[in-house]
Amino acid sequence: MDVQRSGFFTEQNSAEVVISRMEACEDARLKEVMAVLIRHLHEAVKEIEPTQEEWMKAIMFLTKTGHMCDDWRQEFILLSDTLGVSMLVDAINSRRPTGASENTVLGPFHVDGAPELEMGADICLDGKGEPMLVRGRILDTDGNPLEGVTIDVWQANDEGFYDVQQKGIQPDFNLRGKFTTGADGRYWFKAVKPKFYPIPDDGPVGQLLKQLKRHPYRPAHFHYIITKDGFDPLTTHIFDPDDPYIRSDAVFGVKESLMARFEPIEDAAQQREAGFDGLYYDVEHDFVLARA
Ligand code: BEZ
Ligand code: FE
């Protein structure tokens, strides 16, 4: 008799027997996804040979991960991020032509409804941190400037916290803004120099990182969502290449093409011309959108 169809489970045929139970499933994609997951999960269990205690530990880890989740905290996404799965899913879903800017993780701190600001506005609402000028152009893959592009930008403050992590401490929408390009495709705004910061590490994912002797830090960055009708939306960052964690981002989000020099401007005339009355940092980075 066909062992798979008999329905009896053995250590050898474990994956096949479970997969064969889904035969009547009419959702072809679900059936395919579940079959692949079951096959790989059973393979992993066969390779690891967990004790009952170890398996229960894994179940308890996932239980705690679920309990940690609420409207503001998504511990499963952090798990996916720190295992490199978020970046892998992102890479698969954002293959672009040569020359187009690369995507990276969205992260959990984007909020809808950031204020729409005039080009040149300062997104820092509390006056804290080292001032920075962020500028560049939005281009198509032929190098033409793009008009009417929306740039949604957000960053952590110089203590490494987003406004939503410090409600009542930072003003709402601190270090967030939306800008729209004119005919020259240029963008520029004032901000503060971001610093490296730890991803939320007070839950089971942070505990796991500690046990694995991994640090929880992300190198200093600005986040962007850049959109224009007819073009592939770009969710990305720019990173400070001099950051101590640039080669060991806890969520694997750094790409060579997304590093942009954060240059200190010490020249008084240049400071005045840019609208600063002392030292500021300048970063220039062009983004290239691919046609949808
Ligand atoms: C962030 O850059 O905001 C972020 C990304 C992934 C996990 C945690 C934070
Ligand atoms: Fe971030």
What atom in ligand 1 is closest to the CA of residue 109?
3
Cα 272 to averaged position of ligand 2 atoms, centre (Å): 30
250 lines ligand 1 (CB under 6 A): no
Q: Judge whether residue 249 has pLDDT over 90.
A: yes
Q: Judge whether residue 6 has pLDDT over 80.
A: no
* pTM (predicted TM-score): 0.93
Q: Judge whether residue 3 has pLDDT over 90.
A: no
Question: What's the average model confidence in pLDDT over 245-271?
Answer: 98
Cα 218 to averaged position of ligand 1 atoms, centre (Å): 7
- pLDDT confidence band for 1 (50 / 70 / 90): very low
Q: Judge whether residue 5 has pLDDT over 80.
A: no
What atom in ligand 1 is closest to the CA of residue 200?
8
Alpha carbons 22 and 36: distance in angstroms, whole number? 12
What atom in ligand 1 is closest to the CA of residue 162?
3
Residue 71 confidence (pLDDT): 85
- pLDDT confidence band for 12 (50 / 70 / 90): very high
Cα 199 to averaged position of ligand 1 atoms, centre (Å): 6
Domains and CATH numbers, the chain: 14-79 (no CATH), 82-289 (2.60.130.10)
Per-residue pLDDT tens digits for 148-192: 999 999 999 989 999 999 999 999 999 999 999 999 999 999 999
219 lines ligand 1 (CB under 6 A): no
Written as one string, the DSSP assignment of the chain is: --HHHH----TTTHHHHHHHTTTT---HHHHHHHHHHHHHHHHHHHHH---HHHHHHHHHHHHHHHHT-SSS--HHHHHHHHTTHHHHHHHHH----TTSPPP----TT--S-PPB--TT-B--SS--S-EEEEEEEEEETTS-B-SS-EEEEE---TTS--GGGSBTTBPTTTTEEEEE--TT-EEEEEEE----EEPP-SSHHHHHHHHTT---EE-SEEEEEEE-TTB--EEEEEE-TT-TTTT--TT----GGGB---EEE--HHHHHHTT-SS-EEEEE--EEEPB-
Let me know: does 250 contact 228? Beta carbons within 8 Å.
no
Question: What's the average model confidence in pLDDT over 124-137?
Answer: 96
Alpha carbons 213 and 262: distance in angstroms, whole number? 30
Residue 215 confidence (pLDDT): 98
Token couple for 227: 């959109």
Closest protein CA for atom 4 of ligand 1: 107
Q: What is the identity of the amino acid at 198?
A: P
Cα 226 to averaged position of ligand 2 atoms, centre (Å): 16
Per-residue pLDDT tens digits for 27-54: 999 999 999 999 999 999 999 999 999 9
Residue 34 confidence (pLDDT): 98
Cα 234 to averaged position of ligand 1 atoms, centre (Å): 16
Closest protein CA for atom 8 of ligand 1: 199
Q: Judge whether residue 2 has pLDDT over 50.
A: yes
Per-residue pLDDT tens digits for 131-144: 999 999 999 999 99
251 lines ligand 1 (CB under 6 A): yes
Per-residue pLDDT tens digits for 71-120: 888 999 999 999 999 999 999 999 999 999 999 999 999 999 999 999 99
Closest protein CA for atom 3 of ligand 1: 107
